[in-house]
Amino acid sequence: MPWRLVGAFLLGAAGVLAFAPFEAWPLAWAALAGLWALLARADTRWQGFFNGFAWGLGSFLTGVSWLFVALHRYGGLAAPLAAGAILLFCAYLAVFPGLAGAAFIALRRRSLAANALLAGALWLLSEWLRGVLFTGFPWLALGYTQTPPSPLAGWLPILGVYGVGALVAGSAAGLALAGRAFLTPALVLVAILAAGGGLAQIRWTSPVGAPLKVALLQTNIDQEMKWDPQRLGAWLDHNLALVEAHPAPLVVLPETTLPLLADQLPQGYLTRLSAPAREAQGHVILGIFLRSAAGQIYNAALGLGGGAVQTYRKQHLVPFGEYSPPLFRWFYDWVNIPMSNQSRGEADQPPILVGDQRIALNICYEDVFGEEIIRALPEATLLLNLSNLAWYGDSFAQPQHLQIARVRALETGRTMLRSTNTGMTAVVSPDGQVAAVLPAFQAGALKAEVQGYGGLTPYARVGNLPVLGAALAVLVLAIRRARRT
């Protein structure tokens, strides 16, 4: 039993190589097939749970280790406490694959096809539950591994990230459990991959309006220095200099690029910041904190130019980083996180109008929630993410976040623009390809001409409802059959 748990842990850790920055996407099947092979030898539900838990613990400890940087280096939490907090958080996340493992042991059948379907359904439901429970943390969902050049990328506009993860999990189970009947699941996998390659040739959306020239700015301000009041003037000048040096019809600055509330800015600063764009009849979009008349603080974006000021307020806040969950206010006695008492923005906010393009904004990790992104469709023609990943240093966080953006572009059939503080500032095409990207940890501007798109992909029309319904149907049938026997 112990060696199996060690093996499951190592398989989960190795599976992280399927994600960015490595993107060895076939390893997703190898890591999952190894887990299903271990589960095939488990006798009890508890053995199934602990095998799945160990796999998840290896995956999350390896894949989101960058959270330690935020808590220890920038949050000021002592290293042992930060490591303990990350261990507890990853243990919580590992419960979900653990539950999938326990349910598989309880409901498995002798039929290879039934077991493969069950494995895919349980994996989908466990990942979806992880993505919604307690506001959700769907980072490292298995489907994110299948960005181009994986042929499975063609399924993303139809099934979404959870559905594609189910295809990987189910086909991996078929390969692991087949024994001598290996040929049949192998042919099924080839058919799934071939179909994905064919689906990738379909253009679900079509160009709308004139192309838009953009300058996506990367400020590269170190998180340790950003909140130093003695450097505030330097940061204001730095943002202003970047905007003035890179005029364009749309200039974008990253999340919280100005480290203070908008009503605390020097008089006339925003007018100076937007002047180059207004002279070119363009717009500036920048991340900043806003305060309402009632005193509520929002992580927000302002759209300046073209008349009225347009705003977006972040809807999906980060627990422990942007607000305190109930009973956890004591956490902030241990860490130093500026602006950690934020309020949630409205669920349905209109896109920002720039020329004849309508831009749906999302801030930081909001773009990891696919069903929230599609709420802006079909009205929005472009997607724009503002992020500040300086909290996580030079880590997997930057390339993993860019890979998430690639999946959102595929799911929506929209170009995704990204303006970040330290990386990765990029333009992602509707086919999930990275059209252009700035080197991380360098200040500069990514200039590009981007096209807006109209129409809806199948996923944008219905979201996760069909794949969730299918997975639940498989689960209900498996439970009924188990009760009969």
Q: Which residues are catalytic?
A: 255, 314, 364
Q: What gap in Å lies between CA 91 and CA 70, rounded to an integer?
A: 18
The residues, any chain, with a CB within 8 Å of residue 345's CB and separated by 6 or more, are 298, 300, 312, 313, 314, 315
DSSP letters for 24-56: -TTHHHHHHHHHHHHHHT--SHHHHHHHHHHHH
- Provide the 3-class DSSP secondary structure of residue 199: helix
Cβ proximity of 365 and 136 under 8 Å: no
Cβ proximity of 429 and 415 under 8 Å: yes
Can you read off the two tokens belonging to residue 321?
Answer: 């980083």
Q: What gap in Å lies between CA 109 and CA 259, rounded to an integer?
A: 57
Q: What gap in Å lies between CA 168 and CA 170, rounded to an integer?
A: 6
Q: What gap in Å lies between CA 197 and CA 370, rounded to an integer?
A: 22
CA distances (Å), origin 234, targets 215, 231, 255, 258, 422: 21, 5, 18, 11, 17
Q: Which amino acid is at 105?
A: I
**Preceding peptide of 225 cis, ω within 30°:** no
- Provide the 3-class DSSP secondary structure of residue 350: coil
